C-alpha cells in the first residue's frame, strides 16, 4: 500500500513531526506486521527519527547543521543560493524505515518521525509512505 503525506513548512529550516500521519497510514493499511518505508521527495528535504519530548532536540538538530554547513559558502550558491540546503539533506538522507509490530509503529517512547525542511518555507512537501506486509 502506498500513502502520500503532504506537509506545509513555515521556515527555511525546521523539523516537522509527521508521526501522526504515518501512524494513520499504518492504521488505514490494516497491516499487522511489516515495515513502513518513508521517502521525502525533493533535493532539499530529508527524514529523521529523533526525540520529540520538547522542542530543544529538533532545534538543536537545525542549529548543529547550520554550524556544520553554513549558508552562502558553497559553489552551488552561484546558481540559486541554496547549496547548504542540498548538503544538509544529503547528509541527513531522504528515507527512513520503521517496523510495524502488531499494527503499530515500532518506535520507542521518545522516537518520532520528522520531515527535515532545509529550503523553505514550502507550500507542500511530499513524503511517500510505502507499507509492506510481512504477514
Q: What pLDDT score does 118 carry?
A: 98
Residues 63, 13: contact at Cβ < 8 Å?
A: no
Q: What pLDDT score does 67 carry?
A: 98
Q: What pLDDT score does 60 carry?
A: 97
- As averages over each run of 10 residues, the pLDDT of the chain (135 residues) reads 98 98 98 98 98 92 97 88 96 98 97 98 98 95
What is the span of the domain harbouring residue 123? 2-133
Q: What pLDDT score does 102 carry?
A: 98
* C-alpha cell belonging to residue 23: 501512524
CATH of the domain at 116: 2.60.120.460
Contact residues for 134 (Cβ-Cβ < 8 A; gap 6+): 33, 34, 35
Q: What pLDDT score does 87 carry?
A: 97
Q: How many folded domains does the chain comprise?
A: 1
Amino acid at each position: 500500500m502506498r500513502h502520500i503525506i503532504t506537509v506545509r513548512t513555515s521556515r527555511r529550516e525546521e523539523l516537522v513531526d509527521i508521526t501522526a500521519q504515518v501512524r494513520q497510514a499504518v492504521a488505514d493499511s490494516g497491516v499487522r506486521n511489516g515495515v513502513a518505508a518513508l521517502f521525502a521527495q525533493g533535493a532539499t528535504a530529508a527524514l529523521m527519527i529523533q526525540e520529540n519530548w520538547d522542542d530543544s532536540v529538533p532545534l538543536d538538530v537545525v542549529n548543529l547543521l547550520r554550524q556544520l554547513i553554513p549558508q552562502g559558502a558553497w559553489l552551488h550558491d552561484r546558481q540559486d543560493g541554496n547549496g547548504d540546503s542540498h548538503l544538509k539533506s544529503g547528509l541527513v538522507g531522504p528515507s527512513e524505515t520503521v517496523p510495524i509490530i502488531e499494527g503499530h509503529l515500532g518506535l520507542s517512547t521518545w522516537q518520532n518521525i520528522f520531515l527535515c525542511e532545509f529550503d523553505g518555507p514550502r507550500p507542500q512537501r511530499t513524503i511517500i509512505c510505502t507499507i509492506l506486509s510481512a504477514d
